[in-house]
């Protein structure tokens, strides 16, 4: 009887969480497509959920361009901020009002946490 109750509870939780997980996967796919459509050819984009935000790591290529940007912080942040999706884009409908889209430049395997761009804050500043 106890195993049956546990199985029913697990099934109920799985059914309850399935729509949220599907929406999270949709948001990852939507932001990935949006960023790949707007980044220069060859740049890498990796999107995932982290700490209540849709976090995109963006790696510029070739290496020379990446390192030039890395050492020109203002230009790097400007290029990353320009990649933020417009507030009318579908990806924002998949992100909750208390969640954010964060873009993070990555060069040579290192993330520039201090150069992260909050797209919600960037859009609110306009």
Find out whether the peptide bond into 62 is cis, omega within 30 degrees of 0: yes
Domain segments of the chain: what residues?
27-125
**101, 31 in Cβ contact below 8 A?**
yes
pLDDT tens digits, one per residue of 97-107: 999 999 999 88
- The pLDDT tens digits of the residues spanning 83-101 come to 999 988 899 999 999 999 9
- What is the C-alpha separation between 68 and 71, in angstroms, rounded? 5
Q: Is residue 10's pLDDT more than 50?
A: no
């Amino acid at each position: 009887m106890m195993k049956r109750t546990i199985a029913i509870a697990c099934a109920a939780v799985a059914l309850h969480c399935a729509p949220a997980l599907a929406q999270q996967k949709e948001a990852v796919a939507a932001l990935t497509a949006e960023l790949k459509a707007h980044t220069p050819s060859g740049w890498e984009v990796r999107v995932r959920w982290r700490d209540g935000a849709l976090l995109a790591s963006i790696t510029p290529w070739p290496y020379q361009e990446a390192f030039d940007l890395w050492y020109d912080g203002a230009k790097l942040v400007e290029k990353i901020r320009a990649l933020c999706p417009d507030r009318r884009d579908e990806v924002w409908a998949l992100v909750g009002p208390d969640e954010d889209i964060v873009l993070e430049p990555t060069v040579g395997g290192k993330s520039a946490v201090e150069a992260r761009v909050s797209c919600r804050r960037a859009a609110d500043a306009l």
